[in-house]
Amino acid sequence: MSQIKLTSPLTSKIAFKSIFTNRRKPSIEKKDTNNTEKVDRLETFINENKINCYAYSDFKSVQQINRETSFIKRAILNDEFFVLKSFNNDDETIRQIVCELESLRTIIHENILKFHGIIRIEDGLPNMYKHILVLEYANNGSLSAYLREQINKLDWKNKLSLALQLAKAVSYLHDNDIIHRDLQANEILIHQKSIKLAAFGLPSVVTKDTLSLFDTIPYMDPINFDCIENCELDKRSNVYSIGVLLWQITSGRKPFYTERPDVELAKAIFRGRREETVMGTPMEYSRLYKECWNHEPNKRPDMKRIVSNLNQLLLAENSSPTNSQKEKKDDATKWVENVLKNKKVDFIPLNDLKDPEPLGKGGFGYIKKAIWTRTGKYVVYKRLINTDAVKYNTLDAFIHELKIHLHLSIYSDRIVRCLGISQDDITQEYLLVTQFADGGDLRNYLKKNSKNLTWEDKKRLAYQIADGLNYLHNEQVLHKDLHSKNIVIHENNAKIIDFGISKIQDRTSASYTRGRGIIAYVDPKRLLDPNSSYTTASDIYSLGVLMWEISSGYPPFKNSSFSEGDQAALSASICNGNREKTIPGTPEKYGELYRSCWNHEPNERPTMNKILDEFVKWGFGVNSGKKNKFIQESTDDDDDDDDNDLVVKT
């Protein structure tokens, strides 16, 4: 073993390198001396690569995340949180940012922190700008802090899931010939209990426990300790770091946390010292991370094998439940297999869904759009996830929504249709494939187009939503989550989505409703008592709020005195009878209709038949005269059987 030559310049050298090295496009750039040239280089890159650009005024409620830093802030845009990260216009930073963006603009992975774009701020000189990065927000902080706070609450399924998500993210980078240059627990964030690998060389998490330069030593490939002048990280160096992180996920603490991170510790690691296995760690798991941190790079596994091994461990952990749970899972799997066997729904191989792009993460699933090779058109597929608000596992959730789609035997153009199901070959998770809507959700559609919509256009959208809701009610389905993010626009027509997953919420899931910024659409009776029965009148209340939103072009209470986070005060105000004011120019009958829908008393709200009768008078639709066959008003047995909350007969 060669003599270690670790000195402090090494850590400085590595710290200033870009986190990502793109092996396909190594670049050596001449150091600029002119600040204008440096900014021009960034501006040229932004323009040539069509990077999204925002105005600072687009963001609301801008707040400093913590006291330790002023250059990282949280802000709100379109009811979603983002991180705004400013940076200096010095040569090294500009070079690093351009290098990062070169890699990041091609990265799309659910476990990698998303780069959304750039904010330009004029710097007082013509064509001169300061820049701010717009990044995805992670609400649970760093992996290091998360493990420290939650380790006693995490079982082995949770730990294996975190490890697998992290491995998948790094494997994705390696598949794209990209190497992460700072793989340690403070460059890994947690959002809604899921891994988000940070991607920028600038500090991603600045807290009291932010790592100093020497604190990164336990995560660094020791081979690089003795190569100050030509220190080149490769994929095997990332594998070493993964090994340390897999150990940290089992322990909940930083490696060698009782020792001072200095040259002496680095020497010990270089000579082969590693952390001790935590008691209770599965032998296969500890064997894997020990292979990863082998001193000899050629003896370390590649990321594909790490992903495969972790996936097998997680599958084994998931396949050893109680007998009753195992029987339930087997029955559910057989049900899906039987549906496919009887050709009740098409099976779409995942390989037939090309060029997937994330559309977002809803309360119950990751959503992506992709091109279906059979048609050459975009479709949407949803990968269901477990959350505290769901009382069944992901397979139950998948089956429930699929049953709803199969139950809707009569085609309706007001509903986004299920096209088939797919399956992830690695995780064995089922995916629900549905139609794609080219106009996005109603909220963003109104923001972009409201000024150009006539009252006939607005009435037509309201009618289409009411018609779709009536269709669901006639099919004995309650929506339970009707708001402008669950209405999509396709070819300028409104369609309802997510009417299956919402049915599997517990009555205790009012926290989900409040946390999603959709409280203004919730029946006040449910706000007062989350245990109260959900009925057709609850959906009708939400319809009334949607009709008002269509008339105004913006979400309810957007311009109210309530702060973004003061949901309790807004809830109390709604329960006390507060409603949005009628927008000037609103047709009198239209206003009367939506006000009757959001009446505080459910029995005073109109039925769907009466609502559609009004639209018929305005020239929309044909009154079929058929009475709504939906019956679900009794709550006598609710406490005895929570499954009554599902409401659908299949």
Q: Write down the pLDDT at residue 628.
A: 39
Q: Round to whole Å and give the CA distance between 607 and 225.
A: 73
Residue 498 has pLDDT above 90, yes or no: no
Q: Write down the pLDDT at residue 502.
A: 43
DSSP state of 532: S
Q: Write down the pLDDT at residue 635.
A: 34
Which of these ranges, 457-471, 514-528, 531-545, 630-644, has the smallest mean pLDDT? 630-644
DSSP state of 556: T
Token pair of 270, please? 């270089």
Residues 281-319: pLDDT tens digits? Answer: 899 999 999 999 999 999 999 999 999 999 989 888 876
Q: Write down the pLDDT at residue 624.
A: 40
Average pLDDT over residues 375-393: 65
Residue 457 has pLDDT above 70, yes or no: yes
Instruction: For residue 63, give Cα distances in angstroms to 82, 85, 566.
Output: 11, 12, 15
Residue 66 or residue 572, greater confidence: 572
- Strand partners for 353: 372
Q: Round to whole Å and give the CA distance between 522 and 534.
A: 10
Name the average pLDDT for the chain.
77
Residues 514-550: pLDDT tens digits? Answer: 333 378 999 999 888 877 888 899 999 999 999 999 9
Which of these ranges, 11-20, 403-412, 457-466, 533-542, has the smallest mean pLDDT? 11-20
Q: Are 259 and 276 in contact (CB under 8 A)?
A: no
Q: What is the pTM of this model?
A: 0.50
Which of these ranges, 114-123, 207-216, 493-502, 564-573, has the smallest mean pLDDT? 207-216
Q: Are 397 and 364 in contact (CB under 8 A)?
A: yes
Q: Round to whole Å and give the CA distance between 437 and 562.
A: 33
Q: Are 194 and 111 in contact (CB under 8 A)?
A: yes
Residue 628 or residue 266, greater confidence: 266
Q: Round to whole Å and give the CA distance between 275 and 619.
A: 74
Q: Round to whole Å and give the CA distance between 295 and 301.
A: 12
Q: Write down the pLDDT at residue 649.
A: 29
Q: Is 255 helix (H, G, I), strand (E, B) or coil?
A: coil
In sequence order, what are the residues at sequence separation of 6 or more whose Cβ sits closer than 8 angstroms to the Cβ of residue 171? 303, 304, 306, 307
Residue 391 has pLDDT above 70, yes or no: no
In sequence order, what are the residues at sequence separation of 6 or more whose Cβ sits closer than 8 angstroms to the Cβ of residue 419? 346, 348, 372, 379, 433, 434, 435
DSSP state of 502: G
Q: Write down the pLDDT at residue 521.
A: 94
Percent of the chain with pLDDT over 90: 33
Token pair of 493, please? 């027509």
Q: Which string of DSSP letters, residue by residue, matches 100-128?
A: HHHHHTT---TTBPPEEEEEEEE-SSTT-
Domain annotation for the chain: domains and CATH numbers: 8-313 (1.10.510.10), 332-435 (3.30.200.20), 442-646 (1.10.510.10)
Percent of the chain with pLDDT over 70: 71
Predicted confidence band of residue 196 (pLDDT cuts 50, 70, 90): very high
Predicted confidence band of residue 410 (pLDDT cuts 50, 70, 90): low
Q: Write down the pLDDT at residue 327.
A: 53
Token pair of 479, please? 């929506």
- Strand partners for 195: 190
